Amino acid sequence: MIKHRGFPGRLPSSDFQFTIRRGNPKGATPITRRERYADRRAPDRRADTAFVAALWEHFGDQPFERGNLDAGRLSWLFGREVLPATDPFDPADYEALLVLDVEAARRAFPTAFDPADEA
C-alpha cells in the first residue's frame, strides 16, 4: 500500500479522517458510492470540501493510486467527483487507480479550488 506523503491525515480540529495508518491484512475496505443528501451537517460538508482540495493539490487531474486514502471519505465522492481511472476497477484494492473529475468537483465544491471564496 502506497502512503501519500504530505497528504493531510484528517480535517484539522476534527475527527474526520482522510488517510489510514496501515493496510488491513485481510484486504482493503471496498469503496462504495454513498449518497450525499442536501441536509448533511455543515462539518460533513467541510470535510468533503477539504478532502477534495487536498486531492486537487496533490494529484490535480492525474490518475492516482488509492493507497492509504480512507475508503469512507472516498466513498462520499465516488462515482461523482472521484472516478475509477481503469476498467476493470477493483474497489477493494489498495493499488486501484482513481481520478478526480475536476469539472464535477468544481461544481460541487467551488471553494476547494478557490479558498478566497470561503469568506
Confidence (pTM): 0.86
Q: How many CA atoms lie within 13 A of 14 on its CB side?
A: 17
Judged against a pLDDT cut of 60, whether residue 118 lies above it is answered with: no
More confident residue, 117 or 39: 39
Count of other CB atoms within 10 angstroms of residue 85: 15
Judged against a pLDDT cut of 50, whether residue 65 lies above it is answered with: yes
